[in-house]
Amino acid sequence: MRGGIPLYGELCVQGSKNAALPILAASLLHRGISVIHNCPRILDVENTVQILQEAGCLVKWQGSSLMIFAENIQNTRISSKYGTQMRSSVIFLGSLLGRKGNAILPLPGGCTIGKRPIDLHLDSLKRMGARIEEEKEVLYADTEKMKGAKISLRFPSVGATENIILAAVLAKGTTWIQNAAREPEIMELCRFLKEKGAKIKGEGTSVIVIEGVRQLRDSEFFLMSDRIVAGTYLMAAMSAGGEISLKRAPVSQMTAQLQVLEAMGAQMKMEKNKICLKAPKKICRLVSVATHPYPGFPTDLQSQLLAVLCKARGRSKIVETIFEGRYQIVPELRKMGAKIKIVAQEAWIEGVEELTGTTVRACELRGGAALIVAGLGASGVTTIENACFIQRGYEDIGRDLRNLGAAIETS
Ligand code: EPZ
């Protein structure tokens, strides 16, 4: 890609990856049809579709609509071929235990952004009546019948909250989750399940109550947009300069990131599902921004923000409070001339006049997106190796940015 070209134009934000993945796992809970519209065509979704088909589901794409028929689930073993591709396969524990009373799946490995243990998932499902053993990096789980329980999470884990909900929907009795995650993706999963007849209250707050039901029903669902993809494109415009507008943007879920953009000098106009952003000539520095669970500034946008602040006027600070390994991208940004110092979970960024394009390497999804953000604002050509990581979460970032005038080619 060649940087230094301001972005102008409009694009439509894709469906939410982090809502789609638990919803696809949830479709296993119903012996019938689930149709999900506006489903993003990304690697993680394709991989999850493979897991559904391996379990015995019939799955059919029609454009961005996905039809899942989960009448016969004969196989409750997730092969390592798919299960280790992404950490979110652990979410199938809850839905397979809820539907079939057993599940075998590979222990999801750590990844570059952190150890990412699953103790909260396992402890919670055991409290609901699951027996779970680990042998040679494989989890063996079974139960006579999942039963309701009172669960208090020491951390509002998104995945653990989702796994508990999936296990509780068909369980015997009622489940209470204290200190539940409040992310919009949790609310979207609950909206999907309630449209299928599940009995859930409190989603979006720290206390969620699920009353087990005997069965669910066929449904058709329109998936919400992806707030992290939307934020990524806004950061891209901040880095490259110019003026863009996003259609189908989940504005009400983006308050924290819009406040940060405003503090950096962005001029924005917001309507219900539309954001117009005009980038400032010079990025204002941020004295200090910390990532937090929702509704705080999202950790999934931290690397993209870091890339923008590399050219801010003055010194900025970012504090990453969610994942201990989310500064992997810093050495790559330094190759482009960025001045970043890491002290424990803090990143201190001295703004520079210019970044210079060079060859850099992505090592995970959002860090890869951050390298694109940096390259758009750099002089000269930037080549990103391992860019395939980016396809895990973005349908076609090259196409979208070219439609805004960027000189970017993706292989
Ligand atoms: C989800 O991951 C998202 N993934 C992540 O997005 C996102 O960064 C994260 O939530 C935080 O918002 C999906 O939804 C598929 P967590 P998840 O459980 O569920 C610790 C992206 O780029 N923890 O809320 O794994 C954990 O180590 C991805 O789209 C435990 O200690 O996040 C971390 O420090 C990256 N024990 C913290 O909690 C557990 O059992 C947050 O993890 C579980 C988590």
Q: Which pLDDT belongs to residue 251?
A: 98
Judge if 374 and 331 occupy the same domain.
Answer: yes
User: Which of 45, 111, 158 has most ligand 1 atoms within 8 Å of CB, for mutation?
Assistant: 158
Judge if 142 and 168 occupy the same domain.
Answer: yes
The residue whose C-alpha atom lies closest to atom 19 belonging to ligand 1 is 159
d(CA 397, CA 399) in angstroms, rounded, equals 6
Does residue 79 lie within any of the structural domains?
A: yes
Residue 287, domain extent:
7-13+226-403
Mean pLDDT, residues 9-32 taken together: 98
**Binding-site residues, ligand 1, Cβ < 6 A:** 17-18, 21, 87-88, 114, 116-121, 155, 157-160, 185, 299-300, 322-323, 365-366, 393
Q: Which of 26, 55, 23, 27 is nearest to 40 (CA)?
A: 23
Is 57 considered catalytic here?
A: no
Q: How far is the CA of 368 from the centre of ligand 1 (A)?
A: 18
Does residue 392 lie within any of the structural domains?
A: yes
Alpha helices for 154-226 (secondary structure H): 158-168, 184-194
pTM for the full model?
0.98
Q: In this structure, what CATH number is given to the domain that contains residue 206?
A: 3.65.10.10
Q: Which pLDDT belongs to residue 357?
A: 97
Give exposure, 178-204, as e/b (b: 16+ Cβ within 10 Å).
ebbbbbbbbbbbbbbbbebebebeebb
Number of domains present in the structure of the chain: 2
Judge if 133 and 271 occupy the same domain.
Answer: no
d(CA 125, CA 88) in angstroms, rounded, equals 16
Q: Which pLDDT belongs to residue 108?
A: 84
Judge if 65 and 181 occupy the same domain.
Answer: yes
Judge if 201 and 261 occupy the same domain.
Answer: no
Does residue 62 lie within any of the structural domains?
A: yes
Mean pLDDT, residues 96-108 taken together: 95
Does residue 109 carry a pLDDT above 80? no
Question: Using an 8 Å Cβ cutoff, are 2 and 407 in contact?
Answer: yes
Q: Which pLDDT belongs to residue 84?
A: 75
The DSSP secondary-structure symbol of 314 reads: S
Residue range 110-146, pLDDT digits in tens: 678 998 899 999 999 999 999 999 999 999 999 999 9
Does residue 221 lie within any of the structural domains?
A: no
